[in-house]
Structure 1
Amino acid sequence: MDIRELQEKVELHLTSVWNEPVKVTEIYHLSGGACQDNYAIELHSKSSVKSVVLRTDKGGSLLSSLSKRDEFKVAELVYKAGVKTPTPVYLEEESSVIGAPFFLMEKIAGKATGRYITKDKELDTYRKSKMVSDLASNLAKLHTVIPESVSDEDLKQKLKLVTIENYISIAIEDLRKSLDELPEAHPAIELCLLWMESHAPNIDKIVLVHGDYRTGNFMMNAEGLQGILDFEFAHFGDRHEDIAWLCMRDWRFGRLAKEVGGFGDRKDFYKEYEATSGIPVDPFKVTFWEIMGNVRWAIGSAQQAERHLSGKDRGIELASIGRRTAEMEWEAIRLIEGLENAI
């Protein structure tokens, strides 16, 4: 669908839904990655002017990603929990309007690219002062959303209701199933899965996990954090899972010494998270989930490559992501070796 056709469909639909004439005065495509399409839209009506982002699926979503309906509902929960995230505006569950379900959210300022977050001089002051504390405190607020606080029973099931006793074993089994579905063997991943099965830690509490809390999913500018984005991989799980994902080597964008997202130190992040949540961060659990995260990303990368190679969704981005699989395998093995040598 071209921009002009999308504009006309959005105008017509929102005019009907909001019961007043709605005019799209500006619309342009934003980067949405391999699976998402995002459009910046300026909406004018008699009652308001709204700058929003329309978010929809590009044609195929990653395994385990939420539907647009569920992603929107999670955004509402997180917003109400006090997390700095764009205001959810409108959800359309029907595909008939633009060809796929979509939702609208507030358009916020800032940039999310890894190079900007980790290296741009415009952020030097903020990076040295509050970047770590803002991200740690917002993550702690996100983790206040627990299964008992979610009234939407359908959403609870989509977020995968689990217990502290079975969550890790289910997560490992899901990864093993995904690995078995790949056409080629990955012995390094098999080794990691075996290690995780015999070294699984306990979980203090089941909370809402962002699922992709990393550099690239935060909008920032010189004034600071503008908003947390992208809840398509949200689920119930262990709080350490999100902390570990942010610390993964792949999200440091070349600044390897800054283990938190390429911009901060672990001890500072842990301290700020604990100050907001009142819950101690367990370094072993973080490393365990880093290993799990690298295995998950390795399998996800291989799945993206297979989408390209099979002809289902051909694209150079999918193919290039697939080449990263070996890097995640190496990092997971490196982390395991570090833990074993420390014993």
Structure 2
Amino acid sequence: MAVTDTVRPLHEGIRAILSEALGEDVSVDEPGQLTGGASRQVWAAQARTSDGTVVPVVLRRDPPGHGDADRMRAEAACLRAAAAVGVPVPALLASADDAPGIDAPFLLMERVDGESIPRKLQRDPEFAQVRTRLAEKMGFVLGQIHGSAVDELTMLDDRDPLDALEDIYLGLDDPRPAVEIGLRWLREHRPARRTAALVHGDFRLGNVLVDESGIRGVLDWELAHLGDPIEDLGWLCVRAWRFGAQPPVAGIGTREHLLDGYERATGVRPSDAELHWWETFGTLRWLVLSRFQANRHLSGAEHSLELAAIGRRVCESEYDLLLILDLLGEAVPPAEPAPTAPTVHDRPALTEIVALVAETLSDEVAPALDTAHARERYLLRICVNLLGIAGRELDAGADGPAADLLGALDCASEADLAQRIRAGVLPYTDPAVRRCVGTAVLTRLMVANPRHAVTSH
């Protein structure tokens, strides 16, 4: 926290910064924290100028005590570079490494009207018209981003993305067979590299604001870097960002529509093979980043329900990676749960207790929370999901065929199998290896989120 004569509350910190930026005194209502934001905090507030003009603002800041000033400065530079070439981005009002009341690196921006919730953009009737052209519009905006001048962006990371991803993975010290398979396949099939451009790094539904006219704002430049521009296109096709819908681009359009928009903006149309490689890379990237996020909690560095819950979603990306590489055909589905063994304990049984608590929280507690408790409702949904996972794991019992398949390969654990794949001792093309890896992943998935497997075909 910054050392000041007086500790300011958050709304006072925003008021002081905004007053300086606008050159006049303003008042600021109590800010409210928006949902999401596992890495950064996002706060919305209403400011009023002396003549009564309302100025909606958004504050993005690192969690106090976990600041990364260099990264926040880079994000501000990306916003300026993108705005200069016509990318729809929120106007940047102020940014700094710290300020009284903010107590962390931050960006203060004008709030842009528009919807960002993926399910609403995918389903609500009010977006039906724009939805038919949204994939093409997203391709066009990505083309604009990739046309940004990069001379003032030398602070951005420009390492080889596959090397950087592997470094993160190895730093976790959590060998995983699916990751080793993905790394080997990507090394073996890499396309020619394109000229480095500004890559947004997380362009997807949830990070764009949309209204009936199209894309109003591109948000969350936290992962921006310099690299191959097709990375952004592949990332947008990753199945995690379809949020359960079927169309391959963000759950709202086709790859052809995406490439049409990109070609209109840039004159460049990547090949299907190139886009597939980057979609595979993006799937592996989300797998590793999910495990990295979970490790922030699991390592004890940052106590967080949200981060802890991400740990149980890693298997979704493992499944998606094997699916996109067509390596799931050998997997053995988990067996049906065995009958519950007799016990001295009374009913309700442990699984019944878990299900009853989850049902009560979901059906009675959550609806009682009004819109002023959006954050609490969000955390409650996470709790309900975790209770569901706990109940399914209790029902599932032992690991089933996965353990037997590991034994047949003379591997003591999945970590042992991962290390043998990495060393080339066991080729990932071996049907027995594929069967073992796929079975273990499917076993985890049927506990963590069985609907993910059902809706993937």
> TM-score band, normalised by the shorter chain?
0.7 to 0.9
Aligned-partner Cα distance in 2 for 1:19–1:125: 41
Secondary structure of 1:134's counterpart equals helix
SS of 1:139's partner is: helix
Indicate which of 160, 166, 169 corresponds to 2:157.
160
Matched residue SS, 2:143: helix
Change (3 A) 1:61 1:329: farther
| Structure label with greater radius of gyration | 2
Q: CA deviation at 1:245?
A: 0.6
- The answer to whether the aligner puts 1:131 opposite 2:134 as a matched pair is yes
Name the residue aligned to 2:350.
none
Deviations 1:221-268 (A, max 9, x none): 334322111111011111211011111111111112x10100001111
Distance 2:106 2:290 in 1: 25
Partner of 2:180: 190
Q: Which moved more, 1:112-121 or 1:42-51?
A: 42-51
Shift of 1:27: 2.8
Contact 1:25 1:42 (8 Å CA) reproduced: yes
TM-score normalised by the chain length of structure 2: 0.65
Distance 1:80 1:144 in 2: 10
Is 1:229 the equivalent of 2:198? Answer: no
What pairs up with 1:187-336 in 2 under 5 angstroms? Answer: 187-256=177-246, 258-336=247-325
User: Aligned residues, how many?
Assistant: 322
Q: Is the 8 A contact 1:290 1:332 kept in 2?
A: no
Q: Which amino acid aligns with 2:75?
A: E
Q: Which runs of 4+ in 1 moved over 6 A?
A: none
- Give the Å deviation of 1:217: 0.7
1:328 maps to amino acid? S
Output aligned runs, 1:65-144, within 5 Å.
67-94=71-98, 96-128=100-132, 130-144=133-147
Q: 1:6 to 1:278 in 2, by over 3 A?
A: same
Per the alignment, do residues 161 and 254 of structure 1 end up closer, same or farther by CA in structure 2, a change over 3 Å counting? closer
More strand by share: 1
SS in 1 for 2:31: strand
Tell me which residue corresponds to 2:15. 11
CA contact (8 A) 1:36 1:56 kept: yes
Tell me the amino acid that sits aligned with residue 58 of structure 1.
P
The residue identity in structure 1 corresponding to 2:308 is A
Q: 1:17 to 1:253 in 2, by over 3 A?
A: closer
Match of 1:166 in 2: none
Structure 1 residue 27 corresponds to structure 2 residue 31: yes
Q: Residue 81 and residue 293 in structure 1: after superposition, are their counterparts in 2 closer, same or farther (change >3 A)?
A: same
Superposed displacement of residue 206, structure 1: 1.2
The Cα of 1:325 is off from its aligned counterpart by 1.4
| Aligned residue among 43, 56, 61 for 1:56 | 61
Shift of 1:211: 0.2
Instruction: Tell me the distance in 2 between the aligned counterparts of 1:85 and 1:219.
Output: 9
Query: TM-score, normalized by length of structure 1?
Result: 0.86
Q: What one-letter code is carried by the residue in structure 1 that aligns with 2:45?
A: I
Checking the alignment, whether the CA contact within 8 Å between 1:301 and 1:323 is kept in structure 2 is no
Residues in 2 aligned to 1:94 and 1:65: alpha-carbon distance in whole angstroms: 8
Alignment check: 8 A CA contact 2:21 2:94 kept: no
Give 1:179's aligned residue: 169
Q: 2:121 and 2:196 mapped to 1: Cα distance? A: 30
Letter in 1 for 2:148: V
Unaligned runs of at least 5 residues, structure 1: 163-169
In the aligned structure 2, how far is the partner of 1:45 from the partner of 1:105? 16
Kept in 1, the 8 Å contact 2:64–2:103? The answer is no
Identity %, equivalent residues:
33
Separation of aligned partners in 1, 2:326 and 2:16? 58
**AA matched with 1:289:** W
Once residues 87 and 14 of structure 1 are traced to their aligned partners in structure 2, the CA distance between those partners, rounded to angstroms, is: 13
Tell me the alpha carbon deviations over residues 36-83 of structure 1, each in whole angstroms, 9 at most, x when there is no partner. 111122223348652211111125879x99722111110111111111
Is 2:69–2:97's contact at 8 Å kept on the other side of the alignment? Answer: no
CA distance in 2, matches of 1:309, 1:161: 29
Is this contact kept in 1: 2:47–2:57, CA < 8 A?
Answer: yes
User: Are residues 45 and 235 of structure 1, via their aligned partners in 2, closer, same or farther at CA, if it must alter by over 3 Å?
Assistant: same
Following the alignment from structure 2 to structure 1, what is the Cα–Cα distance between the partners of residues 10 and 265? 43
